[in-house]
Amino acid sequence: MPKLAIEDLYLRYGSVEVLKGIDARFEEGSVVCLLGRSGSGKTTLLRSIAGLEEPCRGAIRIDGKPVYDAGQGVNLPPERRDLGFVFQSYALWPHKTVFENVAYGLRLRGRTKAEIGAKVQATLDGVGLGQLADRYPSQLSGGQQQRVAIARALVYEPPVILLDEPLSNLDAKLREEARIWIRALIKRRGITAVFVTHDQAEALAIADQVVLLDGGRLVQSGTPEDLYERPETLFASEFMGTNNTLSVSVAERRDGRALVDLGGHRLWGVDRAGASAGTGRAKGVIRIEAVRLADGAGENRLPAEYETSIYLGNQFEHLFRCGDQTVRLLSDRRAVPGRHWLECPPDRLWVF
């Protein structure tokens, strides 16, 4: 049985449908990222799980028990769902100490003073703030405030913790560090976490399961490797990673492969549209790290004219022109002006 199940969930604001039939299953102890661009419905879905938004159809179950079920007329208020929630703004009380902020949820639940003291201290130790219990939020850095917000959500041991873009207020370096310790903390505690982000690198780094949303619909759900290496739709392929999206003409589809024409040159790729799509215009997608500089002409290679490069520290990103289209690639060596050959491995070129 999944820890958290979402079944055919719909939600609308007035006449506008925001969630359109979401079905998803989240296993116990897993870190799940709801990923999508702005307006995709990911935060609305998170708030629906928390009880802060009321859907109009479907069901949400925790350990098999409904916290929302339109058919049964069930809609538990947020306080009865007993979930942990970390807001994007952290929402710490500025007039309360770190200890008092973290202890708040336990006091609401009527825990004893001794139990509160022990649990708060253990939780603060777990997030690396054991020595800062007497400080106020204004005396903490952004990263420390984030840890207080997470400690407050974890201290009463909820079955599921919900995090609404908790890293968005941190600078780039702190974001990278926070990904590691947040995932380690959640996995160490063995709880289920649902994490909203619009940053696909963040989702790939943190998640056991990524749920990609677009326009209120679930586009694809699976492991980070599934979404990055085996996208099921053109949208999923373009949203994940850094890509070259090329206009091509399909000459043949055979045994899960597609032969495409790009500027008079033939390339084999993986057929993502299916044989029923036939021939004609299509899109070819290949990650920039999959394209290689080749020594000369050959199978699945294209001639291209060098345009420019940027230096990234550990490698170069080169820009080439193939007819009226551009191709980007990564390389550990410089490229010189003139004609080059670019290799597109057939198992890395997806045809939609």
| Spatial contact of 207 and 18, defined as CB atoms under 8 Å apart | no
pLDDT in tens, 202-222: 999 999 999 999 999 999 999
* Full set of structural domains in the chain with CATH: 4-234 (3.40.50.300), 243-351 (2.40.50.140)
Question: pTM of the prediction?
Answer: 0.89
pLDDT, residue 170, reads 81
192 Cβ neighbours under 8 A, 6+ residues apart:
3, 4, 26, 27, 28, 29, 30, 32, 159, 160, 161
CB 24 within 8 A of CB 42: no
Tens-place pLDDT, residues 155-205: 988 999 999 998 888 888 888 888 888 899 899 889 999 999 999 999 999
Contact 153, 195 (CB under 8 A): no
What phi, psi does 232 have (nearest 5°)?
Answer: -95, -20
Q: Which long-range contacts (CB under 8 A, 24 or more apart) does 170-175 make?
A: 170/142, 170/143, 170/146, 171/142, 174/142, 174/143, 175/202
Helical pair 98-108 and 113-126, crossing angle rounded to 10 deg = 130
Buried residues in 86-124 as b, exposed as e (16+ CB within 10 A): beeebebeeeebbbbbbbbbbeeeebeeeebeebbeebb
- Which residues neighbour 176 within 8 Å (Cβ) at sequence distance 6 or greater? none
pLDDT tens figures, 253-283: 999 999 999 989 999 999 998 766 777 899 9
Task: Please tell me the predicted confidence (pLDDT) of residue 275.
Answer: 63
